[in-house]
Amino acid sequence: MEKTWTLIKRLVKEEEGLEMVEYAVAAGLLTVAVIAVWALLGEAISVRLNALLTAIS
């Protein structure tokens, strides 16, 4: 666990590491946003996709 904290501290101090942390945070936020949208609209999206697939068949 201490190695992990040491790595995180080093990454935050270094500019490249800071960029990696920013990308990781952005990816995390994007993931949360996608999950939230899917939770809110998932059923409606599923119904539309099923209707589309039925129409194609």
Residue 32 domain-assigned (yes or no): yes
pLDDT in tens, 20-52: 888 889 999 999 999 999 899 988 988 999 999
User: Which residue would you say has higher pLDDT here, 8 or 26?
Assistant: 26
The count of structural domains within the chain is 1
Q: Give the pTM.
A: 0.52
50: containing domain: 23-57
In this predicted structure, what is the pLDDT of residue 17? 66
In this predicted structure, what is the pLDDT of residue 20? 80
For 23-43, b/e burial (b = at least 16 CB within 10 A) is eeeeeeeeeeeeeeeeeeeee
